Amino acid sequence: MSFSISSYIPLSERDLWNDIKPIPQDDGPNPVVPIMYSEEYRDAMDYFRAIAAAEERSERALELTEMIIRINPAHYTVWQFRMATLLALHKDLEDELQLMNEFAIQNLKSYQVWHHRLLLLTHISPLDPSSEIDYIHQSLLPDPKNYHTWAYLHWLYSHFYTLGRISQKQWQAELQWCEEMLRVDGRNNSAWGWRWFLRVARPGAEKGKDGLEDELKYALKAIHSIPHNVSAWNYLRGLLRHFKLPLTPLLPAILLYTSRSPSEALTCPEDFNYPGPPTPLPKDTPLPVPLALEYLGDALIEQGSNSQAGEVFSDLSTKYDKMRTGYWEYRRRECVEG
């Protein structure tokens, strides 16, 4: 390490910077949380303060900001200054995008890196955002739950949709990509969230009855594939609540997971065409599945069978989901005190 320190040439010894008077950090006397900056960072920041005060928009300002960001990618002030400089100098923003790709490889990710990228795409405003979409897909492969990346993908489609630059074919292809993500890992809740956006939340998502039926079946199949997958249960419940649909009609499809026999009220109608559980169930699928019991409890409330619902919640509280004993007891009381 001592080698790298001694090899650093201070900016004051470089011709490019000899017209600038550096400004040291003003922390006041005896500050708390002082950081023992490296010589390189301190030096760069001293010069940054000087050019920021002068609002200098120059090539060397870009070099300096890059130097700082490589050491501290969360330095939002430096990012803001860099963007303003790029725009003032009419720089080729594609080059900047390349630099951001390199940053991502070096794992210099932060809120600021992603936001910088968002601003770049806004300014570049490609007629077809395909290459950016591909890039994001690629970057999710090694890191399939990165929250920033998923939020950015949501923004990317939303922004370019409002500009009329997402074709029907692209929406289709995106849905297929999302399904592939869920095929690889059906428990990836980020991918489930993306599916919700594609199928339900975005303007222009298919709102027709057939589309909804397909979606309910998709969620049920996912439950049958991994019966203890909370993501799939939440998606199913989310659909029903969003479209204000009752839970009861789907009950026959999941009743097996409750380990309860169907009562008369729950007999399966003849035209029931939702997928049912596989026989045999996948190995290591202990029953009942707590989320299936919750579903049953809520369906019973819907039917006005509050005392039966209370029994289901009582079972959850005392036997099948004891971590949440208090919550299920609360749900039970809501049923009986209703």
**Contact positions with another protein (CB under 8 A) in 210-239:** 225-231, 234-235, 238-239
Residue 243 in the binding site for another protein (CB under 8 A): no
CB burial of residue 122 (10 Å; 0-12, 13-18, 19+): exposed
Q: Which of 109, 209, 244, 319 is catalytic?
A: 109
Query: Could you identify the residue written with the tokens 């489609």?
Result: 157
DSSP of 140-164, one letter per residue?
HSSSTT-HHHHHHHHHHHHHHHHTT
State in angstroms the smallest separation of the CB of 118 from another protein. Answer: 7
What does residue 303 show for φ and ψ, rounded to 5 degrees? -85, 0
Using the minimum distance from each CB to another protein, give the nearer residue, 231 or 308.
231
Residue 41 in the binding site for another protein (CB under 8 A): yes
Among residues 25, 98, 106, 267, the one that binds another protein under rule CB under 8 A? 25
Tokens of 37: 């900056």
State in angstroms the smallest separation of the CB of 77 from another protein. Answer: 4
Residue 109 is among the residues annotated as catalytic for this protein:
yes
Report CA Rg, the chain. 28
Helix (H) or strand (E) holding 113: helix 111-124
Applying CB under 8 A, what is the total number of residues that bind another protein?
89
Residue 88 in the binding site for another protein (CB under 8 A): no
**Contact positions with another protein (CB under 8 A) in 56-75:** 71-75
**Contact positions with another protein (CB under 8 A) in 103-142:** 111, 114-115, 118-119
Residue 38 in the binding site for another protein (CB under 8 A): yes
**Contact positions with another protein (CB under 8 A) in 254-283:** 282-283
Residue 35 in the binding site for another protein (CB under 8 A): yes
Long-range contacts of 56-60 (CB under 8 A, 24+ apart): 57/84, 57/85, 57/88, 57/89, 58/85, 58/89, 59/89, 60/16, 60/17
Among residues 57, 60, 137, 159, the one that binds another protein under rule CB under 8 A? 159
Residue 8 in the binding site for another protein (CB under 8 A): no
Report the C-alpha dihedral over residues 329, 332, 337, 338, rounded to 10 degrees.
130
Active-site residue set: 109
